[in-house]
Amino acid sequence: MSYELIFDVKRGDFDTAGEASRKIKRTLQQLGVSNKVIRKVSIAGYEGEMNLAIHSSGGKILLEVGEEELVLTIEDSGPGIANIDLAMTAGWSTAGDEVRQMGFGAGMGLPNMKNNADNFQISSKVGEGTKIVMKFLV
Q: Which of residues 86-125 bind other proteins (CB under 8 A)?
A: 103, 108, 112
- Based on the shown chain and the rule CB under 8 A, indicate whether residue 43 belongs to the binding site for other proteins: yes
- Based on the shown chain and the rule CB under 8 A, indicate whether residue 16 belongs to the binding site for other proteins: no
Residue 27 or 94: which CB sits closer to other proteins? 27
- Based on the shown chain and the rule CB under 8 A, indicate whether residue 58 belongs to the binding site for other proteins: no
Alpha helices in the chain (DSSP H): 19-30, 35-54, 84-87, 97-101, 109-116
Single-letter amino acid, residue 16: T
Do residues 99 and 115 touch, judged by C-beta distance below 8 A? Answer: no
Residue 62 or 108: which CB sits closer to other proteins? 108
Give Cβ neighbours of residue 106 (< 8 Å, ≥ 6 apart).
91, 93, 100
- Based on the shown chain and the rule CB under 8 A, indicate whether residue 79 belongs to the binding site for other proteins: no
The torsion defined by the Cα of 91, 95, 96 and 102, in degrees rounded to 10, comes to -80
- Based on the shown chain and the rule CB under 8 A, indicate whether residue 62 belongs to the binding site for other proteins: no
- Based on the shown chain and the rule CB under 8 A, indicate whether residue 25 belongs to the binding site for other proteins: yes
- CB 64 to other proteins: min, Å: 11
Before 79, cis peptide (omega within 30)? yes
* Chain contacts with other proteins (rule: CB under 8 A): 1-3, 18, 21-22, 25, 27, 29-33, 35-36, 38-39, 42-43, 45-47, 65, 67, 103, 108, 112, 138
